[in-house]
Amino acid sequence: MSIGLLGIKIGMTQLFNRQGEAIPVTVLRLGPCMVTHIKNIESDGYQAIQIGYSESNSNRLTKSQIGHLDKSGAPPLRYLREYRVKSLANFSIGQILTADRLKIGEIIDVCGSSIGKGFTGYQKKHHFSRGPMTHGSKNHRQPGSIGAGTTPGRVFPGKKMAGRMKHGRVTIKNLQIIDIHPEEHLIIVRGSVPGKKGSIISINQK
C-alpha cells in the first residue's frame, strides 16, 4: 500500500558499508500521523486522504481549522497534507500512520522547503562569469548590458538578474531507505534532503 507521511529533518551523517565506503545519509523522523479526512470520487471527484502531524496548542490554529479537526475527533494538529491514493479500503478516520509501514530498500520521494539564501547577486544566483580583474577593468561583478536602449526601450520580464534566491519547495526523487528505527519513528535515507534541521518534510512511496 502506497502511503505518504509528514515528519521533520533531523540532520545528515554518514554510514560505512562493508567495503569501507562512506555513504552520505539523512536522518528523518516520520510521524506518527493521523488520518483526519478521507475524500472519495462520489463527493470530491477523486480519492485522497488527509493526514495531520505535530500536535500543537489550539491557539495556533484558526477556528475553521479547529472545526475541521473536531469533525474527525483529531487533536489540534499543526500540519495537514493531502495524498492521493488508488484505494481507500485500508484507511479510516483517526487511523495512525507510522514509519513501520516502510521497508528497508524502498524508494521514496522527499519534499521540503530549501534553505533561503537571501538577496544574492547574479553570479551566485545564475552562475554568470565575472569580468576581467586586471588591466584597468572596472567591470568585475557587474551584470553588464541588460538590453538595447531605444528598441525595445525596456527590460523584458524574466531577465536573469540579482534577487532573492532559493527558499522554495523542492522534491528530491528516488531516495533509497538505508535503515529504519520504528520505535523512534526514524528512517535513514541515502543522499541529501532539502531544508535545514528541524524543517518539515513530506515523503511519498514510489
Please indicate, yes or no, whether residues 91 and 108 belong to a single structural domain of this protein. no
Take residue 146 and report the three cell numbers written for it: 541588460
Whether 12 is in a domain gets the answer: yes
Give residue-wise pLDDT tens across range 181-193.
999 999 999 999 9
For residue 103, give its domain range.
1-31+99-126+161-206
CATH code assigned at 118: 2.40.30.10
Whether 146 is in a domain gets the answer: no
Please indicate, yes or no, whether residues 56 and 86 belong to a single structural domain of this protein. yes
Please indicate, yes or no, whether residues 112 and 91 belong to a single structural domain of this protein. no
Please indicate, yes or no, whether residues 54 and 120 belong to a single structural domain of this protein. no
Q: Rounded to the nearest 5°, which phi and psi values hold at 183?
A: -65, -25
Angle at 172 between CA 184 and CA 111, to 5 degrees: 60
Span 115-132, average pLDDT? 93
Please indicate, yes or no, whether residues 85 and 1 belong to a single structural domain of this protein. no
Please indicate, yes or no, whether residues 122 and 168 belong to a single structural domain of this protein. yes
Please indicate, yes or no, whether residues 103 and 182 belong to a single structural domain of this protein. yes
Greatest C-alpha distance within the chain: 73
The total number of structural domains in the chain stands at: 2
Span 59-76, average pLDDT? 92
* pLDDT at res. 145: 87
Full DSSP string of 85-145: -S--TT--TT-EE-GGG--TT-EEEEEEEPPEEEEE-HHHHH-PPP--SSTT---SS----
Domain boundary among 97, 117, 150: 97
pLDDT reading at 154 higher than 70: yes
Between CA 155 and CA 149 the distance in angstroms is 9
pLDDT reading at 95 higher than 90: yes
CATH code assigned at 91: 3.30.160.810
pTM for the whole structure: 0.82
Q: For the chain, what percent of residues have pLDDT higher than 90?
A: 81
Q: For the chain, what percent of residues have pLDDT higher than 70?
A: 99
Between CA 136 and CA 164 the distance in angstroms is 31
The residues, any chain, with a CB within 8 Å of residue 29's CB and separated by 6 or more, are 7, 8, 10, 184, 185, 186
pLDDT reading at 204 higher than 80: yes
* pLDDT at res. 176: 96
Sign of CA dihedral 91, 96, 97, 99: negative
Please indicate, yes or no, whether residues 105 and 194 belong to a single structural domain of this protein. yes
